[in-house]
């Protein structure tokens, strides 16, 4: 009998969407996608992600931008504190880490606007740290796999 993890990985390999942050596992692009996609559908967030990458191709460009310019690009996504925190964190990473993202979950989660899920995504995808990523989608899949009727919210 095939393991659940193998079944899920096989399903993912067959059904995954081609998304730009998956082709380049840079911590900056993973972070950018995670911040944009909080409270936002991929169909809407993808255009914002592409716009941000065009304007700010790396953390140094984002940190050098004015807060007003970042907020203008963010317009329409809502939850404007995410954009402010993202900009402040970019400045901090450039100043305190020389423009290089901290490579561990423990360091990442200390940064403003980077919560447990986003820190785990960056640490595991960009740096290979074995940190579990459990969000609402993962919880829903697992509740179906195990026929658990406990609400995931």
34 a catalytic residue: yes
pTM: 0.85
What's the pLDDT score for residue 20?
Answer: 80
Q: Are 126 and 33 in contact (CB under 8 A)?
A: no
Catalytic residue among 34, 88, 96, 129: 34
Q: How far apart are CA 96 and CA 50, in angstroms?
A: 27
Q: Are 85 and 36 in contact (CB under 8 A)?
A: no
Helix axes 67-74, 42-55, angle to 10 degrees: 150
Q: What pLDDT, in 10s, does the model give residues 91-135?
A: 999 999 999 999 999 999 999 999 999 999 999 999 999 998 777
Q: How far apart are CA 75 and CA 55, in angstroms?
A: 14
């Amino acid at each position: 009998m095939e393991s659940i993890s193998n079944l899920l990985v096989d399903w993912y390999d067959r059904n995954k969407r081609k998304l730009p942050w998956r082709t380049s596992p840079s911590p900056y692009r993973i972070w950018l996608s995670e911040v944009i996609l909080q409270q936002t559908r991929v169909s809407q967030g993808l255009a914002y992600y592409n716009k941000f990458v065009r304007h700010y191709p790396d953390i140094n460009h984002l940190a050098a931008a004015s807060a007003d310019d970042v907020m203008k690009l963010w317009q329409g996504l809502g939850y404007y504190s995410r954009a402010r925190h993202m900009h402040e964190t970019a400045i901090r990473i450039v100043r305190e880490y020389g423009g290089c993202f901290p490579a561990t979950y423990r360091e990442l989660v200390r940064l403003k606007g980077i919560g447990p899920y986003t820190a785990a995504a960056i640490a595991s995808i960009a740096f290979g740290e074995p940190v579990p990523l459990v969000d609402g989608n993962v919880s829903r899949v697992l509740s179906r796999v195990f026929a658990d009727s406990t609400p995931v919210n």
